Structure 1
Amino acid sequence: MPRLRRYAAVLAIAVAFVAATASPASASIPIGQPINGISTWYNDAGYGACGTQLNAATDWLVAAPYAYWTTANPNNDPICNLSIEVTYQGNTIRVPVRDKCPSCDASHIDLSAPAFGSLANRDIGVIQVTWKFVN
Structure 2
Amino acid sequence: MTAHRFFAPRWLATGGAVLLAGVLGIAMLLQNGGSACAAPPSSDKHKGKATFYDLGGTQGNCSIKPPADDLYVALGKSEYSGARACGSYLDVTGPNGKVRVKVFDSCPECAVGHLDLSRTAFKKIGKEIDGIIPITYRAVPNAPTPGPLSITFVAGTSQYYWAVTIDNNANPIKSVSAKGPGGSFRSAALQDYNAWIIDGQMGNGPFQVKMTDIYGKTITAKNIKLSPQKKQTTSVRFAIGTTTTVEEAPAPVKKKATASPKPKKVASPSPSAVSSSVAAPLEESTVTEAAPDAQAEVALAAAEPEVKAASCG
* TM-score when normalising by structure 1: 0.68
Shift of the alpha carbon at 1:35? 1.1
Q: Which runs of 4+ in 1 moved over 3 A?
A: none
Alignment of 1:1-135 (within 5 A): 26-46=37-57, 47-54=59-66, 59-71=70-82, 77-89=83-95, 91-135=97-141
Higher strand fraction (1 or 2): 1
Find the residue that maps to 2:39 and give its secondary structure: coil
Distance 1:103 1:32, change over 3 A: same
What CA distance in whole angstroms lies between the structure 2 residues aligned with 1:115 and 1:105?
19
Q: Supply the AA of the counterpart residue of 1:98.
A: F
| CA RMSD, 1 decimal | 2.1
Q: Paired residues, what number?
A: 104
Residues 23-80 of structure 1: CA deviation (Å, up to 9, x unaligned): xx9422242011110000001232201102349xx82111112112333xxxxx3311
Distance 1:44 1:81, change over 3 A: closer
Larger radius of gyration: 2
What CA distance in whole angstroms lies between the structure 2 residues aligned with 1:70 and 1:120?
27
Larger RCO (alpha carbons 8 Å, 6+ apart): 1
* TM-score when normalising by structure 2: 0.31
Shift of the alpha carbon at 1:90? 6.1
Over the matched positions of the two proteins, sequence identity in percent amounts to 31
What CA distance in whole angstroms lies between the structure 2 residues aligned with 1:53 and 1:81?
11
Higher helix fraction (1 or 2): 1
Distance 1:98 1:109, change over 3 A: same
Which consecutive unaligned segments of at least 5 residues does structure 2 have?
Answer: 1-35, 142-313
Which consecutive unaligned segments of at least 5 residues does structure 1 have?
Answer: 1-24, 72-76
